[in-house]
Amino acid sequence: MKVTGNRPPEKQDIASKIKNVGKQGQAGGRASVEKVGGADRVDLSGKAKEMADMKNTIDQLPDIRTDKVQSVSKAVNDGTYKIDSAKIANKMIDELV
Q: What is the pLDDT of residues 74-92, one digit of tens each?
A: 999 999 999 999 999 999 9
Chain mean position to CA 62? 19
pTM of the model: 0.34
Domain ranges for the chain: 11-96
The tens digit of pLDDT for each residue in 31-44 reads 555 555 667 777 77
Band of residue 12 on the pLDDT scale cut at 50, 70, 90: low
- Classify 4 as helix, strand or coil: coil
- Comparing 41 with 27, which gets the higher pLDDT? 41
Contact indicator for 30, 45 with CB cutoff of 8 Å: yes
Q: Is the pLDDT of residue 26 over 70?
A: no
